[in-house]
């Protein structure tokens, strides 16, 4: 049986549409509220059809010293489904997740996204927190 970590794919988001792009500052002060986001399809649009879509995005923080913390998750459930047929619906979602976070130590933000056809994709961004 494969270890889950071996199933997670990474790539440069400028060349691969499945990679979540993390939006956050490189540096912040301890205790300040900062905006953090994860988006799929920033450089290359990802399809959002009944047959091919991003189902969810999760954002994590791994402090330099400490366990991984789940910061949040967004699920996307409108992909053009309709009783009239595939891609005939009136609503679609765009895979974007945003939140505000407060950090007290430096570490790494990790984003994980799931495509129903191409599996799990990950990206990371280091953030430095100063006193």
Domain residues for the domain of 99 are 4-130
Specify the number of domains making up the chain: 1
Query: What pLDDT does residue 58 have?
Result: 98
Q: Could you list the active site residues?
A: 16-18, 46, 52, 115, 118
pLDDT digits (tens, 9 = 90+) for 44-68: 889 899 999 999 999 999 999 999 9
Where does the chain show beta strands of DSSP type E? Answer: 20-23, 27-29, 33-40, 54-63, 69-75, 96-102, 107-115, 119-130
pLDDT digit string, tens, across residues 18-40:
999 999 999 999 999 999 999 99
118: domain CATH number?
2.60.40.730
pLDDT of residue 17: 85
Categorise residue 55: left if φ over 0, alpha if ψ from -120 to 50, beta otherwise: alpha
pLDDT above 90 for 42: no
């Amino acid at each position: 049986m494969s270890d889950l970590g071996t199933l997670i794919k990474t790539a440069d988001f400028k060349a691969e549409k499945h990679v979540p792009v993390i939006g956050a500052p490189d540096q912040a002060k301890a205790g300040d509220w900062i905006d953090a986001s994860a988006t799929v399809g920033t450089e290359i649009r990802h399809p959002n059809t009944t047959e091919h879509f991003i189902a969810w995005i999760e954002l994590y923080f791994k402090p330099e010293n400490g366990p991984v913390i789940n910061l949040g998750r967004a699920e996307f459930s409108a992909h053009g489904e309709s009783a009239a047929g595939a891609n005939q619906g009136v609503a679609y979602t765009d895979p974007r997740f945003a939140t505000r976070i407060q950090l007290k130590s430096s570490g790494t933000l990790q984003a994980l996204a799931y495509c129903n056809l191409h599996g799990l994709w990950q990206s990371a961004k280091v953030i430095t927190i100063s006193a």
